[in-house]
Amino acid sequence: MHENKGRLEGKVAIVTGSTRGIGQAIAEAFAREGAKVVVASRKPEGVEAATRKIVDAGGDAIGVPCHVGKPEACKELVEKAIARYGKVDVLVNNAATNPYFGPMRGLSLEALRKTFEVNIEGPFTLTRIVLDHLIERGAPGSIINTASVLGTMASPLQGAYGMTKAALISMTKTLAMELSGTGIRVNALAPGLVETRFASALVENDEIRESIVAKTALERVGVPEDIAGGAVYLASDESSYVTGHVLVIDGGWTIG
């Protein structure tokens, strides 16, 4: 574990989808910066392993299995976080699904609904629960939504996923405006192509990967740690004048 710099000292953070990939990198970075972290994901064994890794490295974390598409599970997640740590200051809505890879003409309504249930209904439900808690406390807070550059551009073969990320960006901006005067900030991360199991359909397809890397100024695919630094910034008081913002972390893929 790196030396604790304490940029998130005293903060309690829930990170969904944090047992691998970008979510895990964010949870670990938060713990290194002094936050108490609630690791949340669907599979209990993954939650246990990711939590143990943080604790073994000297961090303070608990794990709560949670399917964010289920409102009762979201409520229980926040309740367990408050029961353990007394409060929640930061929520990272990172859990996502992408069950269909192919043209939108072939997308079933069932797959569309599943994608929206996890990628939009989950963040929407969890955010409202955490907002109620923050407003009741009269406390500032930071909501961070993991969107994607695919929410800002055409998303061939990943249409449903791109639609949900565009909706998440819209939700981020509207909530930021509606929460004016509360001290609660709402921002989004928009990663480009990142080396994760979640993105394997793109990363492991040589033609797709090479076409994206060819358009990327830094000439490489990202790694989860590239995104975690942005999350730390948005969770910390360093970004106290930043809200409604979409932080693109894509190596320069979308600047051309």
Distance CA 97, CA 17 (A): 10
Which neighbouring-strand residues pair with 173? Answer: none
The closest of 23, 25, 59 to 225, measured between CA atoms, is: 25
| Residue 161 annotated to the active site | yes
Instruction: Write out the E strands in 11-164.
Output: 12-16, 36-41, 60-65, 90-93, 141-146
Instruction: Identify the active-site residue in 100, 161, 233, 241.
Output: 161
Which are the contacts of 70, defined by CB distance < 8 A and separation ≥ 6?
none
Q: Residues 126, 128, 130, 131: what is their CA dihedral angle, to the nearest 10 degrees?
A: 160
Distance CA 35, CA 235 (A): 10
Active site residues: 161
